[in-house]
Structure formats: structure tokens, C-alpha cells
Amino acid sequence: MSLSSASIPVYETSLHGNSFSYRMVGSGPALVLLHGITCSSATWDEIIPALAAHFTVIAPDLLGHGDSAKPNTEYSSGAYACYVRDLLLELGHTRVTLVGHSLGGGVAMQFSYQFPDMTERLVLASSGGLGRELHAILRMATLPGAEAILKGLSGSRVRGLVDGGAKLLGRLGLRAGTDLREVWRGFGTLSAADTRRAFLNTMRTVVDLGGQRASAVDRLYLAGQMPTLIVWGDSDRIIPASHAAAAHAGIEGSRLELFPGAGHFPHLDDPARFVSVLLDFVRTTKPARIDAVRAAEVVRRRTKAEEAAAKLRAA
């Protein structure tokens, strides 16, 4: 029987006393899909059936999102990466290709830094953590009183005013179409107090009023050890496509795919192309084989090179 988005199996497990929801289907090498802020694993439903023909696809609801638990705990990229690692180990997967969108891209990069021996490839789709610039609507979550504002925006009566909400977000500069729809849908998930708390804890960990403060830019050279694909919409107004170009320049051997006319959700704006690009990337690259010793050697070489450059500048 062919798989449809409506028939993707959803499972639940417990990790460290917290419930975790995840989608898992297919067979073959493990492909992990990590969603963005206020989203859930459902964001991948349109492309999971095509990917499941080639991979064991695992798409978790990150802690604080979707049907996973929303405890009052740490929501840093490092903490997210540890939970993803523990979920994969419970499921019996020790080597994976990671695909991360937005917040999930930052988590994927953090995972690859913390657990290089488990990471075969890295795919960053409109990823966070690659520069300061971020749309004002997300930066506003760091303001005092954001809790009350979000509570009002996500109330049932306001959520019912789809057209009015869309116009409001449009006036704030969001791209009409998928970006506007998905951001408005994300606000709708914040009606529950525990979800709002998890959202605010996450945002205030990685964002301040000036933009993104959690950054992987100084460690991009480490991603050069593994095959890396960068996918971005050239019309992304949430995280600009200039971040994609900078990351591509900073990661030796990386591939860059800009989707014309797509916004912050390239896997939704052009799912067929997203799948095609991803399959070609996996098919034409060899999985990385990195252990802690090799990773440490790369860091030491980089440190020595930076020290030598500093001495030359001071001379």
C-alpha cells in the first residue's frame, strides 16, 4: 500500500521522564528531519512519503513542540541536540543524515558538533544560527510583556480571524503565501500556557532584541569535515538568504541550493524540488566518518593557524 501524508505512523516514547512524539517510517539509512520554532514534525508530512522510499525517516516533535512534553526546563540548542541523540539511541540508530529547518538547523549543527561520530551528512534549510538578522516578529518575543501579547494573539477568537491575522502579519513584512500561513499557524499553537512558556524560553535562549545571538559562524569550519547541503528560499524574509551564501563560503565543500520564489519554508514552497535535491545530495556524497579524536585535531589545527595569524598581525 502506498504511503500518504495521512497514513504516516506517529509514535510516542518517554525520555528522562518526558514524553516524546515522533514520526518514523521507511527502511534503509536513517534520515532525521528537525522542524523549526512553533512547528512540529507535521511540517514534513508532504515530503516524508517520497523520502521513506529510500530512508528510515525519523521526524521528532522537539521538546516543547507538537505532541511532545513541554516541561519548564532548558531549551538551548545543546539541550535539544542531546534529546535528539537520546531518541535516536533508543530507536537503535547511531549514524544519521540530519536535515534541519530554521531552529532545527541550529539544532542539527549543534548535534554535529557534539556528536560528530553519529553524523554522516548535514542539511541546513533556512537555518538559524548563521547570522544576526531575524524578522522583527520573532525578535519581539524577547520583549517584556511578550507573554501577555502572545496569549492574546493565540486566543481562540483571534485565531479564528484568519484573514485579519494574515493582513496583520503582512503589514509587518511577512511574505504572502506559505510564510505568512505557517507563522500564523504557529501563533495558533501558543494558546496553551506550557507551549507559550516553552516558546519564550527557546526564543530567549537563541534570540535577543537585536536578532539571533546563538551563532555557529565561528565553528562552520568543523562542518567542512562532512558533506553539507544548504537549501534556502531566495525570498526568505524571516532569515535572509545572505546567511546561506555566507555559510556556503564558510563551509568548505558545501553545496548551496537557492529556490527561486521560495520563502522561509522551501520544503513546503517546492516539495518536489526539495526531495530531488536531497536525494541527489545523499546519492552523490559519501557519509562522513568522524570520531572525537579527528574532530579534536581539526580544532587544534585551526587554533594554531589563528594564533599564527594573530602574531603576524601584531608584528
Reading phi first (left if > 0) and then psi (alpha if -120 to 50, else beta), residue 133 is in: beta
Q: Any catalytic annotation for residue 264?
A: yes
Q: Which amino acid type is present at position 289?
A: R
Active site residue 280: no
Whole-angstrom distance, CA of residue 32 vs CA of residue 35: 10
176 contacts: CB under 8 Å, gap ≥ 6: 170
- 71 and 38 in contact (C-beta within 8 Å)? no
Could you say which of 102, 112, 127, 254 is catalytic?
102
Q: What is the CA radius of gyration of the chain?
A: 19
The active-site residue out of 77, 264, 267, 269 is 264
Q: Which of 61, 179, 236, 269 is labelled catalytic?
A: 236
Partnered with residue 13 across adjacent β-strands are 20
How many other C-beta atoms lie within 10 A of the C-beta of residue 96?
A: 24
Residues in the chain: 315
User: Is residue 276 annotated as part of the catalytic site, yes or no?
Assistant: no
Neighbouring C-beta atoms of residue 308, cutoff 10 Å: 10
- What residues act catalytically? 102, 236, 264
